[in-house]
Amino acid sequence: YLETGINILRDVSIDDNLQLYIDLHRFASQAHYSSGNFDKMDVCLDAVLERTDLDIMDKLPLYIIRCHALYASYKLTESLALSQQVLEEMGYKRLPDKASTFDVVMDLIKTKRLLKKHTGKIPELPLMEDEKRVYAMTLYHTMGSTLYMLGSSVLPILILRWTRWALKYGLTGHSCTAIVFYAFMITSMGDLEGGREYGEVTVQMLERYAC
């Protein structure tokens, strides 16, 4: 069905049907990804991503599919590099290439201060409205899994930034993952009570927002 739609568009003006062109290639690439046909997926993705007349917001859903596919193919370094590139194109700060214990401690202090201001209020936070940040949070989700598999020292920095974004800008479907990652991280540091507390917060978020 999707390929039929794409073929039909070849006989008409793409510029007059640009959003349809993007959507058909997006859903076709997702279908090929889901069925494991990565070669056809790449063709559909490149048809949009290689266009120079499109805004980054038009390309974001397709970039995310490619990041997922690279991760699924165990091309972890490539998936991470593409995620970093896309974050930068969106105007957001890249994650560092490595993080020291000092870096993690400073970020942890910053995050704990912000969490203290939201004690008991996290599940009541509004949903994130900035579409670009929502896509960035989706990228963070993929990057979290990639950094974990790579055993990267940067993973705590990602978790802490991800958590602060949820507190500052609102919740998304991936905010639950950020908070539970935070709970896991502080538990591994010996803060069992804090880990339990934020584990319970995550359950409350799941119940309210179906994260």
The DSSP string of 80-141 is: HHHHHHHHHHTT-PPPPS---HHHHHHHHHHHHHHHHHTTTTGGGPPBP--HHHHHHHHHHH
* Contact between 160 and 111 (Cβ < 8 Å): yes
Coil, helix or strand for 191?
coil
User: Residue 31 has what pLDDT?
Assistant: 95
Query: pTM score, two decimals?
Result: 0.86
Question: Residue 28 has which token pair?
Answer: 């076709």
pLDDT tens sequence across 68-111: 999 999 999 999 999 999 999 999 999 999 999 999 999 999 99
Distance CA 75, CA 69 (A): 9
Stretches where the chain sits below pLDDT 70 are 209-211
Q: Would you give the distance in Å from CA 87 to the centre of its chain?
A: 10
